[in-house]
Amino acid sequence: MRSHWIRLGVFGSVALGSMLWSEKKTVPDQTDSGRISGYDGHHSPYELRLVQVLFRHGARTPLKSIPDVLEVQWNPNLLKVPAHTQVDYIVTDLNGGPRPPAPVEDSYRAHTLSGGTFPGQLTTVGMQQLYDLGERLRKRYIEDVPFLLPGFSPTEVYVRSTNIVRTIESAKCLVAGLFHQSQEGTVPIFTTEAENEILYPNYHGCRLLKLLSGTRWAESSMLPDIAADLNKIQRELGIASHKRVDFILIRDDMVARETHGLPCPPMLSSWRSTVERRAVEMICHIYDPSKRQNLQLCVGPLLHILLRNMEDKVQGVASIQKRKLYLYSVHDTTLMPCLMALGIFDMKWPPYAADITLELHQHRVTKEAFVKVSYLGQDQLIPGCSGIYCPLKEFKEAVSPYSLTSELYRSLCNKSPED
């Protein structure tokens, strides 16, 4: 069984490892229609009701090394855990039972990088990045305005992660930064089995997505401009023509090296902007955001959950009335299709620890609900919304073409491309 997962790993990881398992409108604060863009407690006409954060894991070891080029040593010392990022936590399934098997993680641990570490592992740098993100959230939601309790409370905060060590550890580090290691009991981090994961495009759990994207993945490196540049960079880096390499793999190794101060092949520096651009063009071809169904299959169930959480809060569903924060520890391949569906993808690869934050507000007088979306800490104007504070009805209309209930998702996944 393990060899099956490893074979499929040639496409990447969840970053594209899930692939085979596995323009941004940044708008300054503004006043529109009498609404204040900014949350300032009782000085705002809005009351903050709920926050949902989707965040990419922190810096990690590469998924694969660029073949035939200057090797670097991925030493275990790069994975030391800083004491301030530690919290008492437990990983469970969605019902609080034992952690499910983790075939994606097993596929990483079947290989060793030069230096002795496994591919795709969160590093000390990555742990600090998520701690820093937690501190940013702490300033906004605890210090500037007392929205959250200063210590972790499981009735107030829900933590969900893909069942992969780097995202689990990233969630733990964010919680440590957000609550400064103050906690009420053990922090539960909820995961699910790989076949049912909806926190990334699930190429194993959704047959139609695998069929559609497998073809587009193969095509992406053969698009004329991309193929021409790939041939040039392979020659200049001295990579044998028969070696399987693409711009996403090159970018992944290049960015991992740069982030940790490790040497890159000198020739690669002149190619840096091209590698970034071509990697994004490949991912856009694979996700094909011009076709609604592709984004539905990639992130439709996740978008449905985000909308349902807001609806439940507005409608006063008793079971979640104390819930104020949902944390989702995910991947670059989660954020990109989400940004595409929201209409705010800026054609740049999301950096480590990037976050999409959705705030649900309620007008103190009219009780109307509004959604405010930020990416990388910057407020975003969602196409179809009349302002930064987007009426929930408008936000639902903007996102609903891509949102899928679990039943509709399953029905679509079982279809063939010809249906």
Q: Which residue has the higher pLDDT, 189 or 318?
A: 189
What are the pLDDT digits (tens) for 342-391? 999 999 999 999 999 999 999 999 999 999 999 999 999 999 999 999 99
Pairwise CA distance, residues 413 & 410, whole Å: 5
379: enclosing H helix or E strand: strand 378-380
Residue 39 predicted with pLDDT over 90: no
Mean pLDDT across the stretch 129-145? 98
Q: Which residue type, as a one-letter code, is found at position 294?
A: N
Mean pLDDT across the stretch 12-27? 40
Yes or no: say if 156 and 149 are a contact pair by the CB < 8 Å rule.
Answer: yes
The reply to whether 29 belongs to the active site is: no
Q: Which residue's entry shows tokens 């702490």?
A: 138
Q: Which CATH class is domain 2-23+32-211+288-413?
A: alpha beta
Q: Which residue has the higher pLDDT, 386 or 3?
A: 386
Q: Which residue's entry shows tokens 């993680």?
A: 105
Contacts of 73 by beta carbon, 8 Å cutoff, 6+ apart: 114, 115, 262
Phi-psi domain of 185 (left: phi exceeds 0; alpha: psi -120 through 50; beta: other): left
Name the residue among 331, 356, 57, 343 with its Cα closest to residue 200: 331
Q: Which of 229, 246, 332, 355 is catalytic?
A: 332
Residue 73 predicted with pLDDT over 50: yes
- Per-residue CA distances from 350 to 47, 119, 198, 354, 366 (Å): 30, 19, 19, 6, 37
* β strands within 270-348, DSSP E: 325-330
The reply to whether 57 belongs to the active site is: yes
**pLDDT on residue 22:** 35
Residue 173 predicted with pLDDT over 90: yes
Yes or no: say if 152 and 187 are a contact pair by the CB < 8 Å rule.
Answer: yes
What are the pLDDT digits (tens) for 286-302? 999 999 999 999 999 99
pLDDT confidence of 90, banded at 50, 70, 90? very high
Residue 325 predicted with pLDDT over 80: yes
Pairwise CA distance, residues 247 & 270, whole Å: 14
**pLDDT on residue 318:** 86
Range of weakest confidence among 21-35, 59-73, 209-223, 304-318: 21-35
54: enclosing H helix or E strand: strand 46-56
Q: Which residue type, as a one-letter code, is found at position 387?
A: G
Per domain, the residue ranges of the chain are 2-23+32-211+288-413
Pairwise CA distance, residues 158 & 312, whole Å: 15
The single-letter DSSP state of residue 181 is: T
Name the residue among 170, 134, 156, 152 with its Cα closest to residue 57: 170
- Per-residue CA distances from 179 to 84, 304, 326 (Å): 11, 28, 14
Mean pLDDT across the stretch 160-166? 98
Pairwise CA distance, residues 161 & 191, whole Å: 5
Please report, rounded to a whole number, the percentage of residues in the chain having pLDDT higher than 70: 90
Please report, rounded to a whole number, the percentage of residues in the chain having pLDDT higher than 90: 83
pLDDT, mean over the chain = 90
- Count Cβ neighbours within 10 Å for each residue of 78-110 and write b for 16 or more, e otherwise: bbeeeeebebebebbeeeeeebbebbbbebbee
Q: Which residue has the higher pLDDT, 43 or 358?
A: 358
pLDDT confidence of 241, banded at 50, 70, 90? confident
Residue 12 predicted with pLDDT over 80: no
pTM assigned to the model: 0.91
Q: Which residue's entry shows tokens 């491309």?
A: 417
Reported residue count of the chain is 419
**pLDDT on residue 14:** 53
